[in-house]
Amino acid sequence: MPVTVIPGYYAPHLIYGPQADARVAPIPDHGRMQPVKPVPEDRAAEPLTEYVQRVNRRIRSFDHRHPLVWDLHLTGFWVLAALIDATSGGWDNVAHNPDVPFGLVLVLSVALSVPLLWRRSHPATALLITLPPALVSAWSGAALQAALLQLLLVHHIALRLPLRNLWWAVTLATVPACVTVVRYGDSAGSWNQQVGSHLVSLGVAVLIGITVRTRRDYTAALEDRARRLETERDQQVRLAAAAERARIAREMHDIIGHNLSVITGLADGGRYAAAKSPDRAAQALDAIGTTSRQALGELRRLLDILRDDDQDGGAGQAPELAPQPALTDLDRLLDGVRQAGLPVRTTIKGEPALPEGRQLTLYRVIQEALTNTLKHAGPDATAHIDLSYEAGGAVTLTVTDTGRTTPLPSPALSGGRGLPGMRERTSLYGGTLEAGPRPAPEQGWRVHLHLPEESPQ
C-alpha cells in the first residue's frame, strides 16, 4: 500500500495493511508486536461540541448546494406565522385602529412576509418591496407584527452588502415608526417609545450582521491563508525534489560517464594489443575489472543513500557510506585516465587549502573534462591540467587537450548533462566556467574555471 510522507510530520503509530484498524504494543519478553483490541465505540464517546460542529457543517454544506430549500422553509414559516396572527385576531391587541378591514390585514401580512424569500440574494430589493405595506400598516393603525420582519432584511443588508447601504436601509426602516407617531400622536406613544425603541432594534440587527460578517470574513481569510501555505509547502517540496533529482543526476553522470569512458578506452587499447602483446591486453583487462568494480561500488553507495529505511526489512542495516572525492583522490583519477590511453600532464601552483565543497567541484570538473577528451578528442590526443591556488581561497583551473576541435554536441539536442553539470557546480560558489575550442592556430578543447575568494561568514 503506497504511503505519502509529508515533510514535517511523523506518525509512528500508523499501521498499514490487514492490521490497520488495531493499535500495536511491544511484548516485554521478546519485543514482538501484538495487536491490541480496538476500543469499543461506546467507550469513546464523541464530545458534544464536535458533534454540533459536524452537524453544523453538514447543514451549511446542504444549504450551499440547495439554498432555495432553506429559503422556502424559512419564508414559509414566517408567512404562516403572519397569517396566524392575522386570522386569530392577535394583531388587535397592539393595533391603534382595531377597525382595519380583515382583507387588508391579510394582504399586508402576506406582503410583509413573502419578500423574505429574497433576503439573501436581493436583501435591498426585498426591503424596498416591504416598505409600502409597512407604511400602509402604520398609517391604517393595524401595526402588524409582521412589519418587524424588516429587521431581518436589514440584518442581511449588513451581512451581505457594502456597509454604505446601511444608512438608507435604516432610514427607510424607521419611516413607518415615524408615520405611526405622526398619525396617532400620544395614543401611539411618545417619540422615545416608538422611534427610539425601533432604532435600538435596528441597531441590534445591524450589529449582529456586522459581527457575523466579520467572523465569516476572518474565517475565510484564515482558510485562504492555509490554502496558500499548503500550496507554498507543496511547491517547496517539489522544488527540493527537483533540486535533489538534479544533484543525483550529476552524481550519476560523473560516476558512470567517466568510468565507462575509461573502460571504453581500455577495451579499445586491449583489443589492439591482444594480437601483438598479450601481456598488455591482460593488463588492460585487469584495469577494466578494477575500474568496473570501483564504479559499481560508487554507484551502490549512491543508491544506498537513496534507499528508504523501510526497504531494509527492519534489519536496521545502515547504508554503506563513503566520503565524496577530493583533490587528494586526483592522482587515482589521473592514473585511470592514463591507463585508458590518454597522457595527462599536471601543473599545480600554490598551496591547496580549500573546503571539501570546493575540492569536490574541482574534482568533478576535471573528471568531466577528461571524460569528454576521452570520448571526443580522438587518438593521439594529450591533456594538460593547470591548477593555480590563490590567496583567500580563490582558485583557477584550466584543462586543455590537443584533440579534434569539433565542438561537443549541444546539451539541449543530445540530452547531455556534462557541461550543464559543470556550470551548476561552479555557480554554487559564484564562479565562472568557460568551455570551447582553443583559439587558432592551436587545436583541441579548453575548459577554464575560476572560483573567487570565499566570502566571510
Check: CB of residue 360 under 8 Å from CB of residue 325: yes
Number of alpha carbons in the 13 Å side-chain half-sphere of residue 123? 24
Q: Which three cell numbers stand for residue 350?
A: 600554490
3-state secondary structure of 18: coil
Residue 6: per-residue pLDDT: 37
Q: Is the pLDDT of residue 136 over 60?
A: yes
Q: How confident is the model at residue 29 (pLDDT cuts 50, 70, 90)?
A: very low
Check: CB of residue 348 under 8 Å from CB of residue 368: no
pLDDT tens-place string over residues 151-181: 999 999 999 999 899 999 999 999 998 888 8
Residue 45: per-residue pLDDT: 52
Of 367, 377, 373, give the one whose Cα is nearest residue 421: 367
328-457 domain in CATH 3.30.565.10? yes
Per DSSP, what are the bridge partners of residue 24? Answer: 35
Residue type, 383: A
Q: Is the pLDDT of residue 33 over 80?
A: no
Q: Which three cell numbers stand for residue 143?
A: 401595526
CA distances from 399 to 55, 144, 148, 359, 444 (A): 73, 99, 91, 16, 10
Residues in the chain: 457
Residue 43: per-residue pLDDT: 45
CA distances from 218 to 59, 64, 73, 101, 165 (A): 21, 19, 29, 50, 21
Q: How confident is the model at residue 375 (pLDDT cuts 50, 70, 90)?
A: confident
Residue 189: per-residue pLDDT: 62
Q: How confident is the model at residue 149 (pLDDT cuts 50, 70, 90)?
A: very high
Q: Rounded to 5, what percent of the chain is helix, strand, coil? A: 65, 10, 30
Instruction: Show contacts of 325-329: CB within 8 Å, 24+ apart.
Output: 325/360, 325/363, 325/364, 326/356, 326/359, 326/360, 326/363, 327/352, 327/354, 327/359, 327/362, 327/363, 329/363
Quick one: DSSP state of residue 440?
A: T
Please give the Cα distance from 397 to 385 (Å, whole number). Answer: 7
pLDDT tens-place string over residues 233-245: 888 888 877 776 6
Ramachandran angles phi, psi of 430, nearest 5°: 70, 20
Q: Is the pLDDT of residue 361 over 50?
A: yes
Among the ranges 25-34, 269-278, 324-333, which has the highest mean pLDDT value?
Answer: 324-333
Residues 6+ apart with CB under 8 A from 159: 209, 210, 212, 213
Q: Is the pLDDT of residue 96 over 50?
A: yes
| Average pLDDT value for residue range 412-437 | 74
Q: Is the pLDDT of residue 399 over 90?
A: yes
Strand positions, DSSP E, 342-427: 344-349, 383-389, 395-401
- Residue where the block lists cell 400620544: 186
Identify the residue with better confidence: 233 or 286: 233
E strand or H helix at 229:
helix 197-252
pLDDT tens-place string over residues 307-316: 544 444 444 4
Q: Is the pLDDT of residue 288 over 90?
A: no
Residue 249: per-residue pLDDT: 67
Check: CB of residue 359 under 8 Å from CB of residue 396: no
Among the ranges 20-34, 35-49, 323-337, which has the highest mean pLDDT value?
Answer: 323-337
Domains of the chain, residue spans: 48-189, 328-457
Q: Is the pLDDT of residue 198 over 80?
A: yes
Average model confidence (pLDDT) across the chain: 77
pLDDT tens-place string over residues 18-27: 333 333 334 3
Q: Is the pLDDT of residue 12 over 60?
A: no
Ramachandran angles phi, psi of 428, nearest 5°: -60, -30
Q: Is the pLDDT of residue 34 over 50?
A: no
Q: How confident is the model at residue 416 (pLDDT cuts 50, 70, 90)?
A: low
Q: Which strands sit side by side in the sheet containing 395-401, from one edge to the other?
A: 344-349, 383-389, 395-401, 445-451, 432-437
Please give the Cα distance from 397 to 449 (Å, whole number). Answer: 5
CA distances from 57 to 52, 97, 129, 386 (A): 9, 47, 33, 72
Identify the residue with better confidence: 137 or 322: 137
Residue 252: per-residue pLDDT: 67
pLDDT tens-place string over residues 55-87: 888 888 888 888 888 889 999 999 999 999 888
pLDDT tens-place string over residues 182-197: 888 766 566 777 788 8
Number of alpha carbons in the 13 Å side-chain half-sphere of residue 315? 6
